Amino acid sequence: MPLDNSAHICTAAAVLTAVVCYQGWQILNKPENKRTATERSAAIVHGVTGLIGNTPLIRINSLSDATGCEVLGKAEFLNPGGSSKDRIALYLIEQAEKSGQLVPHTGSCIFEGTSGSTGISLAMVARAKGYLCHIVMPSDQAIEKSQLLERHGATVERVAPCSIVDKNNFVNVARRRAAEYGADDKSGTRRGYFVNQFENPLNSDAHYRSTGPEIFQQTNGHIHAFVHGSGTGGTIAGVTHYLKQQVPGLMSFLADPQGSGLANKVNHGVMFAATEREGTRRRQQVDTLVEGVGLNRLTRNFANLLKPTQGNSKGKCMLDGAVSVSDRDAVRMSRWLMANDGLFIGSSGAINCVTALNVARKLGPGHTIVTILADSGQRHLTKFWNDQAMASLGHDVNAPETLDVFE
């Protein structure tokens, strides 16, 4: 029996609806039709934590034009707390809440040992969620970081730089302060929570779940290499694991400051830095002007890049190489980017860009390289962006005339 007209009409309508929906999906998912920053800002977010993440990916024009590659920087300095550390601050606190380790508005306090940026992010999120915050940091970090922490309502404790094996190392002091906090509270509601960003696997998980997917979406999967430094190892581990699972053949490179042994560990399997030779060290931790990245030990997050995982079944290092960047080149790159791109970035972003330039030259034209611009130069005004201080150490603070100075 033939179908009546109403059945034909329903069938045709269903097909037409499906076709229109599919075509609409294709249009909306074209790169040129993605929501603009203005459109995103029109949405109402719930508090300051709603501003974290979804940062823009920008083309670094001077490096891209010079190499024939697309050299892209993820503008993490546009997070509300001013750095990529906002991501882990929010994620780790939320996970602690889910596990019952933290309950807001109970007088509980968040403790962490940090060179500054993670502390600022934690202080911001702590205030937004109803917690106190106590930050322990090395006394050789830029003073403006301490000032920002205090403005965010955190208690700041600056301690002398020393090895991680020393009980007075900033990380160990923070752990001890957390254990002592609330010891006299018989109800157990007022707790001290030690974030432990260096060894907490949730650190890299935060970037696996947010930063990595954002980069993949923003590049539409067209990415050949990722470049980043390592402090805690969370960002480079999380992003590398995610992107290598999504993009066959993707390469990941470590940007390492002078004085750090990680580059040598990646390239040669041995933790060593030339500036660590006896009688040559200027600083206790890592002999560099760059803050926030570089170590002479393996954190749990970074060590995960050296272990067998999905997509790394042979047990080889998931990093495809490492570049050791001198303080001289870090200073030069920061001034180059300010003069040629109007980018005012911090010291870790500078070494990332030196390494991205190196990788772009090695890969050749037509490749896409993504790196992280973790924070702004505003956090480095008294040190890395203090021309008088840099000149006193023998560094040329004038912008290079050409990128040829970066060998």
The residue to which tokens 């840099």 are assigned:
390
295-315: per-residue pLDDT in tens? 888 888 898 898 755 444 445
Looking at residue 98, its pLDDT comes to: 96
* pLDDT of 1 higher than 70: no
* CA 260 remoteness from chain centre: 18
Q: What strand order describes the sheet that includes 192-194?
A: 155-159, 132-138, 109-113, 192-194
Which amino acid appears at position 31 of this protein?
Answer: P
Task: Choose among 297, 292, 304: nearest CA to 376.
Answer: 292
Looking at residue 26, its pLDDT comes to: 44
Question: Residue 42: pLDDT band by 50, 70, 90 thresholds?
Answer: low
| pLDDT higher at 41 or 182 | 182
Q: What strand order describes the sheet that includes 321-325?
A: 57-59, 70-75, 368-373, 225-228, 251-257, 321-325
102-112: per-residue pLDDT in tens? 999 999 999 99
Question: Residue 231: pLDDT band by 50, 70, 90 thresholds?
Answer: confident
| pLDDT (average), residues 179-183 | 88
Looking at residue 276, its pLDDT comes to: 53
Task: Pull the structure tokens for residue 140.
Answer: 């050789």
Looking at residue 259, its pLDDT comes to: 87
Average confidence score pLDDT of the chain: 85
| pLDDT (average), residues 109-116 | 90
- Is residue 186 part of the annotated active site? The answer reads no
349-404: per-residue pLDDT in tens? 999 999 999 999 999 999 999 999 999 998 888 889 999 999 999 999 999 999 99
Residue 54: which residues within 8 A CB-CB, separation 6 or more? Answer: 40, 214
Which amino acid appears at position 236 of this protein?
Answer: I
- Sign of the alpha-carbon torsion through 149, 155, 161, 166: negative
Looking at residue 14, its pLDDT comes to: 42
CB-CB contact of 244 with 124 (8 Å) = no
The C-alpha atoms of residue 333 and residue 330 are separated, in whole angstroms, by: 5
User: Residue 113 is inside which H or E element, if any?
Assistant: strand 109-113
| pLDDT (average), residues 157-171 | 91
* pLDDT of 11 higher than 50: no
| pLDDT higher at 150 or 15 | 150
The C-alpha atoms of residue 143 and residue 333 are separated, in whole angstroms, by: 23
Residue 77: which residues within 8 A CB-CB, separation 6 or more? Answer: 83, 345, 346, 349, 373, 374, 375, 376
330-344: per-residue pLDDT in tens? 999 999 999 999 999
Task: Choose among 374, 358, 303: nearest CA to 84.
Answer: 374
The C-alpha atoms of residue 212 and residue 209 are separated, in whole angstroms, by: 7
CB-CB contact of 270 with 258 (8 Å) = no
* pLDDT of 196 higher than 60: yes
Task: Pull the structure tokens for residue 267.
Answer: 């390239």
The pTM of this model reads 0.84
* pLDDT of 2 higher than 60: no
Q: Kindly report which listed range (36-40, 90-94, 222-226, 393-397) carries the lowest average pLDDT score.
A: 36-40
Which residue among the candidates 30, 74, 85, 145 is catalytic per the annotation? 85
CB-CB contact of 88 with 120 (8 Å) = no
Question: Residue 287: pLDDT band by 50, 70, 90 thresholds?
Answer: low
Helix axes 85-98, 117-129, angle to 10 degrees: 40
